[in-house]
Structure 1
Amino acid sequence: MEQILHSISGSLHFLAVVTWIGSMMYSMFAVAPALKHLGTPRAHAINMIAARRFSPLTWGSLAVLIVTGIYAVSGNVDKLSTLFGQPAGIVLFVKLLLVAALIVILLYQIYTLSPQMKKLINPATPKDQENALEIARAGNTANFWSWTHLVLGITVIILAVILAELLES
């Protein structure tokens, strides 16, 4: 029974990673380029609508990742003290640090950058040169953090594969 639960948990963990990172890749490589011809304010407005639609999927993936990650670690608590003296422990530690960074970046994007951009593209906000510059700055900042989030997510996946190999040997 424990083996079945472990397999289900591992499958859900993998599915949540694919959903989270896959949606980022879709957004970065399909949606964003398709919106470029609309102009900055309109593209950001549509991107924000898409992000709102993806939000339940993102939060659901994050919840599944946390629960299944805790389950995976709790099943190996007895091995963790000896694990941290080995390469697998170092990889696990770096992976967990990067996951924490991913969560911080996600929260920053949702609770800081998104409201800032929403305020700037609001129809009630005067559309002058200063506004256009602020939109460009906010867009560049959002783009930087989106790319950072994606690169860290891919790095976490690579570390997970390395960790799995280290734990099998």
Structure 2
Amino acid sequence: MNKRSWEEKLWIIVDKGEKILLRVIIVGFVALVVVQSMLTSDSMRFYLSWAERLEGQPLQEWSNPSARVMESESTVFAYLTVELADFSSLAKARILINGTEVADFRNKQVTIKVYPDDLIEIDGSFYDRRLKFEIIGVSDSIGEPTLHQVIQTYRSVTSLGKVKFK
């Protein structure tokens, strides 16, 4: 094999590769411009962008209020433990966070996960008697409501107040 013929074959391959590479770059640039222009349309953006489909959907915890109920106290989340004082169980007495029912008092005490400015209420409107509840556990980071705060309801919804952090 002649050295000159080998170099000529190499240059032919390089020329063809250069042409192919230039075409790929041009097609890629045109595709990029087309897709970017399609993203300016709201209807197309919904199908082209995964993040667009998630936008505006509530966090799973907020759409499922029972996710706020905790099995035990936590060092990771701010928590509040409320205990039913006079009875061992009242299934129709409920805890509301921001107006949404998150737990009931089938068990004597309930531990819930709270965030700043959550409005905590106890709904005892089902029962025709005075009900007494006491806060028996509070995270160190919570300033209000306070530990050992007593709440009484009589056929009403009673507010513990908004959660305030220290």
Q: TM-score, normalised by structure 1?
A: 0.24
**In proportion to residue count, which structure has more helix?**
1
Higher relative contact order (CA 8 A, sep 6+): 1
- Pair member with larger Rg: 2
The structure richer in strand per residue is: 2
